[in-house]
């Protein structure tokens, strides 16, 4: 599908590669003990995170995005990963197909209903006791002023709708207001980029009802 990311796809990696590198490495480290497991990156963009995992011996990698242009970049580099061009809020993938699902820098830019649908879809796709890893912004008393300023500028450049959704996300306390306590248990979280970004790992709690 053609999306807002048609232009961004051309500049996303060249502009953000170095800023995102410590985060990509932290995610790699968080997942190292799960090399044999099946991993889905929802809203994978240019697939950079999975490419790094692939270089480090991960085998069962799946990458899903709605943007043709971002996925065109993801296909470069001949990394062995399965690519799906789909809407992450309503995929065609079967229930409980993945040990681990990650969503990186995609939740903050959505309206509230879409944020909830995205996390619900991840819940549906994760196996019993599997993991959800979310990388996204966190603004609180740990976040430095420099991080808040820099991130706000980047989000403003991304356009009005994107920026309005980002502001709502921050005002609503980010992830903590979106993750249902009867669906996921927080295992650990790690702050990066002057504490402006959180890498949070949750375990799926099976709802027996």
Chain residues in the site for ligand SAM (CB under 6 A): 3, 5, 43-45, 48-49, 65-67, 70, 87-89, 104-106
Least Å distance, CB 148 to ligand SAM, is 18
Q: What is the CA angle 25-98-37, rounded to 5?
A: 55
Q: Which is nearer to ligand SAM, 13 or 140 (CB)?
A: 13
Rg (CA), the chain: 16
Question: Considering beta carbons, is residue 83 or 179 the nearer one to ligand SAM?
Answer: 83
CA–CA dist 144, 141 (Å, integer): 8
Residue 17 or 129: the one with the smaller Cβ distance to ligand SAM is 17
For the CB of residue 77, give the shortest distance to ligand SAM in the complex, in Å.
Answer: 15
Beta strands in the chain (DSSP E): 39-42, 61-65, 82-85, 98-104, 126-137, 184-192, 197-204
Task: Give 57's Cβ-side CA count (13 Å radius).
Answer: 7
Contact partners, residue 176, CB within 8 Å, separation at least 6 = none
Q: Minimum distance between the CB of residue 91 and ligand SAM, rounded to whole angstroms?
A: 8
Closer residue to ligand SAM in complex, CB, 3/190 = 3
CB of 123 to ligand SAM, least distance (A): 16
């Amino acid at each position: 599908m053609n999306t807002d990311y048609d232009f961004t796809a051309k500049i996303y990696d060249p502009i953000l590669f170095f800023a995102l590198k410590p985060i990509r490495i932290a995610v790699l480290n968080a997942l190292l003990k799960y090399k044999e497991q099946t991993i889905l990156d929802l809203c994978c963009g240019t697939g950079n995170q999975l490419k790094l995992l692939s270089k480090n011996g991960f085998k069962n990698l799946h990458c899903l995005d709605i943007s043709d242009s971002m996925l065109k970049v993801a296909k470069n580099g001949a990394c062995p990963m399965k690519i799906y061009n789909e809407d992450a809020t309503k995929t065609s993938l079967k229930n409980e197909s993945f040990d681990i699902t990650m969503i990186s820098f995609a939740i903050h830019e959505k309206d509230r209903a879409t944020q909830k649908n995205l996390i619900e879809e991840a819940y549906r796709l994760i196996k019993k006791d599997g993991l959800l890893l979310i990388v996204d912004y966190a603004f609180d008393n740990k976040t430095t002023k420099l991080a808040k300023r820099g991130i706000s500028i980047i989000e403003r450049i991304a356009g009005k709708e994107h920026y309005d959704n980002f502001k709502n996300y921050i005002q609503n306390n980010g992830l903590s207001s979106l993750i249902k306590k009867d669906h996921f248990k927080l295992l650990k979280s790690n702050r990066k980029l002057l504490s402006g970004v959180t890498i949070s790992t949750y375990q799926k709690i099976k709802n027996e009802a």
